[in-house]
Structure 1
Amino acid sequence: MRKILIILSEYGYWGEELVGPLETFDAAGYQVDFATPTGKRPVALPPSMDPTFVDPPLGRTVVSEEMAEKVKRLEDPKNPRLDNPIILSEWLPDRPYWSAEKFLREMETYNNAIDEVHQDLAQYDALLIVGGSGPIVDLVNNHRVHDLILGFYKLGKPIAAECYGVTCLAFARDLVERKSMIRGKHVTGHCKEYDYLDGTGFVGSDLNMGPPPYPLEYILSDATAPDGEYHGNFGREISVIVDYPFITGRSTADSYTTGQKLVEVLEKGLRRYGW
């Protein structure tokens, strides 16, 4: 049985971006483990459960009645599926400060612990990072998430990411080389035209950041240069790119296709798709 590790934010994931791939993995008979930064049960962003919510950049509703009900069922406290996720802060070590008194010894200890975690990853066939605004807060610049991505990369295993979760791929870098893992690769992600002008928010906070704190399109364009490329595919309903080992989905509408292409990577050897 194949086994997938799914990383979720504790500050709000977009419902369909979990439900789409999860239903696809379930249909394929895969086992799924969930992980969050500190072990809190992940929570869907309220708009992703609201069929009346009109996405401002798209000017239309983006959540169907059927999807809203699916997300609500998954979010129901009586549904134990998202209970007790793997705790990343306990599974992976903290990186020492460069100013630590015994930095060399601490760095050796850190690297030994990371090597052990990477051995643990042999049980998994692929990694998925779910999108939404929450990842901006606790996944994108989380070095434990980066270390997991690097582990899957070194093992040659598929790595999938959606929406703002794709940013984690741009920032996951080996501390020696410091080059983006997606340098020279083809990826998609939230295009500039899809960004909010106002209303970027997070679960557990009344903070309205207005627009997103960074334009993901620009980050991905720079990270993939000089030989790769960012594909926004604005004007196309679906944007999913496979450039092995990476499978990237632009936004909500691409969720099912992202899961389907990951399955095709695992089952049919798919290595390139979407450009």
Structure 2
Amino acid sequence: MPSALFVVSEEGYWGEECVEPLTTLDSEGFEITVATPSGSPPVLDERSADPENVGEETAEWVRDVHENDERLNNPVSVTEVEAADYDAVVFPGGHGTEWDVNQDVDARRLLRNAVEGDSEKALVVCHAAGILAFTRDSEARSASERASGERSDPRASDNDFLVAGRDVTGFPNEWEEGIVDDHDRMPDGRKLPYWVEDEVKAAGGNWDAELDADTSVTVDGDLLTARGPGSSSAAAQTLLDELDA
């Protein structure tokens, strides 16, 4: 049976970006495991279940899955799982990922091992693309740790990132401008710690959010990236295609 690991934020995930791939893979017979940084249930960004933002049908669907899917309600910790045990590792987006998943050492390990592994795939959606700005490739990481004798700074070099030279998409600055205020504060008052597009570009990613297209999904080897909620369905189907499922 094919399997997929979902790494979901405890600080606020965007409903459709998790629920669409999860239900799509589930319908194709995938065994689904949900993991969060601490093992506590993921938190839904309420804006993603607000009918005024996403429409009544999507809002109802997202909330139903969030509240009733036992895998979302009983996750494991990212410390307990290995990418090699799954066919795909999926990182749903949402602003909340900027505060936990994207900078979590074990989440980065899962991404790195999925992309560098023999048969796994990684799908990174929307704001979760920010994890690419903090994930170094295994060769650079190992060399740095051997030299220092300790865990290395994930932003220590401009050339060691997993994303360097890869084609990617994700949540664009142009869209972020319509959400945060002049002080980079979110509607809930939290200050956005970084802008995903800027950081991924700084890490060497070839960024193109394809703003003129209805959807944006990019495949570069075993790394798949998707722009935002409207690309969730296309991302799930692309992942199935890449897995020959």
Shorter chain as denominator, the TM-score bin is 0.7 to 0.9
Offset at 1:218? 1.8
- 2:73 matched to which residue of 1? 83
User: How many residue pairs get matched?
Assistant: 221
| Correspondence 1:138 to 2:100 | yes
- 2:167 matched to which residue of 1? 186
What TM-score, normalized to structure 1?
0.75
- 1:25 matched to which residue of 2? 25
Following superposition of structure 1 onto structure 2, how do residues 196-235 of structure 1 map, counting pairs within 5 Å? Answer: 196-198=179-181, 200=186, 207-209=189-191, 212-224=192-204, 229-235=206-212
Offset at 1:79? 4.4
Unaligned stretches of 5+ in structure 1? 54-62, 92-116, 269-275
Following superposition of structure 1 onto structure 2, how do residues 1-275 of structure 1 map, counting pairs within 5 Å? Answer: 1-53=1-53, 63-76=54-67, 78-89=68-79, 91=80, 120-156=82-118, 157-173=120-136, 174=138, 175=141, 176=143, 179-195=160-176, 196-198=179-181, 200=186, 207-209=189-191, 212-224=192-204, 229-267=206-244
The answer on whether the counterparts of 2:13 and 2:95 sit within 8 Å (CA) in structure 1 is: yes
CA 1:4–1:79 in 2, change beyond 3 Å: closer, same or farther?
closer
Deviations 1:226-259 (A, max 9, x none): xxx2112113221111111111011111111111
Give the Cα separation in 2 of the matches to 1:220 and 1:79.
Answer: 32
Deviations 1:113-169 (A, max 9, x none): xxxx6xx43321011101001100111111111111222233232111011101112
SS of aligned partner of 1:193: helix
Structure 1 runs of 4+ with >4 Å offset: none
Give the Cα separation in 2 of the matches to 1:224 and 1:28.
Answer: 35
Offset at 1:80? 2.4
The answer on whether the counterparts of 2:173 and 2:197 sit within 8 Å (CA) in structure 1 is: yes
Greater CA radius of gyration, 1 or 2?
1
Offset at 1:27? 2.1
RMSD: 1.9
What TM-score, normalized to structure 2?
0.84
Unaligned stretches of 5+ in structure 2? 145-156
Give the Cα separation in 2 of the matches to 1:83 and 1:190.
Answer: 27
Give the Cα separation in 2 of the matches to 1:65 and 1:158.
Answer: 33
Name the aligned partner's letter for residue 62 of structure 2: V
Quote the sequence identity (%): 32
